[in-house]
Chains A and B, each alone.
Chain A
Amino acid sequence: MSAKLRIQDGNPVWLSPSIVPSKDIVVSPNSSPSLATINVNSNDVFVYVKVENTGTLDLGGCTCTSTGAWAIPSLFQGFLANPTATASQTRDGATFSASANGDSLSGAGINFWFGLSASGRRAWAWSPDGRSFAYAASPNGPDWFLTIVSLQNITRSDGSTVLKGHVAATASGLFAGSNPIQYWTNANFGWAGSKAVVASGAYAGGPGWTVSLACPEAPSPNVWENLFPVFPGEVEWALLVSPCGSVVAFAPKRLNSSAPPQTFFMVSTATATETQFRKNNAPTSISSTGANVSMTTTAHTANGVTVNTGNGTTVTVDDPDCTLVGGGIIIRVDRVKASTLPSANLGVLPVGTAVLGILQVGKNSWVKVPNQSGWANQSEKHWCLLAQAYTVDGATIPRPWNGQAANPPPFPIINETCAQRNIEISP
């Protein structure tokens, strides 16, 4: 799959038909505008830029196609409770080794030392997508320290990067228990999708149930924690992970009709904070009505998730995975005094930017770019519009040129995502 955009060059190259300054009110981005003459006082001339997706990858849409029932976390499979026990497992290019001398993770570009677990209690698991490895260990038995190591470079939701082989998240806690029979096991830890590790157990400081959610793709602090009151025989909580792993829902199961009312809530794995259920993007709440709670994504849209509130009653809410999709395509237009070379960059002036939200393979769209700085012509009638297209993330299709840089490089007219057009700005 390749991501490609094109703004068509002209023939000659300085007359791209895909860059059209126009006064027209063009109702649809599918329609082409007619060219306007421009004078220095024009205030209603927009620059329309036609962008084509010439690659094999749809741009701007939801990249996750998984739908269906929200799943419970998958428990860690690796577990040792003896300081002298050994283990060795290899998956996704990384080998985990446990020994009496300490535990480690190794592989190409990975050399991570977890150290010694004094109590010998250790649990571990690879994330389902193989991009992370999680390891929990205990110095004393009831306490635990969780470390998540990235097995690939991971981009966090704030744009920062966790390098391969480095720590993506850590968490720690203390569960109730006074002897090895009561201490934690691998069943206290699980991967909630591939974007969060959940650690849950009885609270050591009194009645209650404590839950920690460590989210490697969230910026620091990337751990959410909560202490739940316990209502024995009345309320239990189900953790349900959305199909794309962007949220972990906490669904209260009312085990009998006298149980106190409880509401569902979610934690975002992108921010490690609680987030609201929404319906048509307005906040909404869901109350539990019984024990058989479930959630199912039917579509990555508003009202795309059906919630069984426990007694068979269903409500729909917006899909938190993909009702909102960040990104899209930036169209940026600059202008320079016309010279015989577009690379001359003779005083680059910004015109404006606009966004194309989505563009499917083989499709094109006219993007309307407003002029944010007017059409002053500096006593020179001949100007050249320079248009470029790139993806918002700056990675799928990088920005080809920065005309506002201190010494801008030549405008890369040879680049498919760049084109130019001569215009005249009359006094």
Chain B
Amino acid sequence: MTTHRFTVNVPNPTTQRASVQLRLEPAKRQGFSWLPREFPKAGLKVIAAGLALDACAEEGNPTLKLKLEPFTSIDVHAVVNTAPSKKPGVAGFHLVDHRKGKDVGGVFLVCIDPPLDEPVSQTITTPNPCPATLARNLYLIQPGDDPSKVSRIKSVRPGDILDLVAQITNPTGKSLKNTQVYLEHLGVSNVEFTPSTWNIGTLGKGAVFYATWPIRITAWQTGSFEPSVVVLSQRTDPVRLNGKLSLAFRKELGAGSSSNH
């Protein structure tokens, strides 16, 4: 037998005393359709499932009634015992929070045996991608500088404002109509940027448009991060163009620097 334990907080964030009725409801099979593709197909045989206030409880009750004082909370423990399985299997329960005659919230609890390995990523393509690409990797310039001229920013400090440049080009033999481009994010960096969209319009074959977005360095940034630029054109699917940008300390100067990769 395998015991699956879950700890869930049950709060009362109001000014009134609250009566709470908790119950465990088995999840329906179709409720797992959105789970990872590696998700096991077989169901686990559930021997017992219950709720308890004791963290070490071996089993519990299907329902649990609580009284909560204003602005307090309590941890409850869901214990699910499943039979050994030769194949990987799954079982799921909704822990439903019922107050004042209606279901007001809940938590989805999933039991998997053996534990699920982290899946590897896959590339999800699209049938008709916008063919626009980056003509070169992303780079930074000083505000107001010509974005068609690649410059090397020597020193970056918190509070600096720079322009991120993405050279958008059309490598195909046909013009792209109604081309637009926007910056989706700057990866794991916490550099701030000003959201905006460029209406490029018709992007002729081989033409280059120099899209820019002001960014502000909010703290010392080290390492590289991967901004995501989205480009759209008529009768194609929008696509993400991923570039890489590095911000690194210059030890000899005690200041930061950026470089383009």
| Residues in chain A within 8 A of chain B (CB atoms) | 12-15, 17, 20, 22-39, 42-44, 60-62, 280-283, 299-304, 319, 322-328, 330, 337-346, 352-358, 365, 367-372, 380-382, 384, 392, 410, 422, 424, 426
Contacts and interface: CB of A to CB of B under 8 A. Distances in A.
Nearest to B177: A301
B41 to A, nearest CB: 15
A34 B122 contact: yes
A356 B212 contact: no
Given A281-B210, A340-B9, A372 B189 contact: yes
Interface stretch (B80-88, B194-202, B251-259): B194-202
Nearest to A328: B195
Interface in B189-232: 189-190, 194-202, 207-212, 228, 230, 232
Interface string B152-194: 0000000000000000000000000000111111111110001
18 contacts: A15-B34, A26-B124, A28-B239, A44-B121, A280-B148, A282-B146, A323-B200, A326-B194, A338-B9, A339-B8, A340-B107, A341-B97, A344-B9, A371-B188, A372-B189, A380-B7, A392-B195, A424-B110
Contacts of B116: 37
Contacts of B237: 28, 30-31
Given A300-B199, A341-B105, A381-B6, 17 more contacts: A25-B124, A27-B239, A29-B184, A32-B124, A33-B124, A34-B36, A36-B118, A280-B148, A282-B147, A324-B198, A325-B198, A326-B195, A339-B73, A339-B105, A340-B96, A358-B180, A382-B6
B180 A357 contact: yes
A144 B21 CA distance: 77
Contacts of B37: 34
B197 A340 contact: no
Given A42-B118, A426-B115, A346 B195 contact: no
B245 to A, nearest CB: 13
A422 B97 CA distance: 14
Count chain B CB atoms within 10 A of each CB in A30, A35, A281 and give the residue with the most.
Answer: A281
Contact of A370 (B8, B148, B187): B187
A341 B36 contact: no
Given A328-B182, A341-B105, A302 B238 contact: no
Contacts of A355: 182-185, 195
Contacts of A37: 36, 116-119
Contact of B105 (A38, A340, A352): A340
Contacts of B199: 61-62, 300-302, 304, 319, 322-325
**7 nearest CB pairs, A to B:** A301-B201, A357-B182, A340-B97, A23-B121, A28-B126, A344-B11, A357-B197
A112 B180 CA distance: 45
B79 interface: no
B185 A370 contact: yes
A325 B196 contact: yes
B56 interface: no
A60 B230 CA distance: 14
Contact of B124 (A27, A343, A365): A27
Contact of A26 (B104, B209, B240): B240
B16 interface: no
A193 B110 CA distance: 62
Nearest to B22: A340
B143 interface: no
Contact of B13 (A43, A345, A392): A345
A346 B13 CA distance: 10
A326 B196 contact: yes
B131 interface: no
A25 B35 CA distance: 17
A371 B185 CA distance: 11
Contacts of A20: 34
Given A24-B121, A36-B118, A61 B11 contact: no
Contact of B238 (A28, A42, A384): A28
Given A280-B207, A358-B180, A23 B148 contact: no
A103 to B, nearest CB: 42
Count chain A CB atoms within 10 A of each CB in B120, B126, B184 and give the residue with the most.
Answer: B184
Contact of B197 (A328, A368, A372): A328
B151 to A, nearest CB: 13
Nearest to A393: B195
Interface string B107-143: 1111000011111111111100100000000000000
Nearest to B187: A370
B46 interface: no
Count chain B CB atoms within 10 A of each CB in A326, A353, A357, A380 and give the residue with the most.
Answer: A357
Contacts of A281: 147, 198, 209-212
A368 B184 contact: yes
B15 to A, nearest CB: 13
B22 A280 contact: no
Nearest to A337: B9
B248 interface: no
A339 B196 contact: no
B175 to A, nearest CB: 12
Contacts of B147: 281-282
A344 B182 contact: no
A354 B123 contact: no
A397 B168 CA distance: 30
Count chain B CB atoms within 10 A of each CB in A23, A38, A382 and give the residue with the most.
Answer: A382
Nearest to B98: A340
Nearest to A423: B108
A328 B230 CA distance: 13
Contact of A24 (B9, B124, B202): B124
Nearest to B5: A381
A22 B119 CA distance: 10
A171 B103 CA distance: 63
A339 B10 CA distance: 6
Contacts of B232: 358
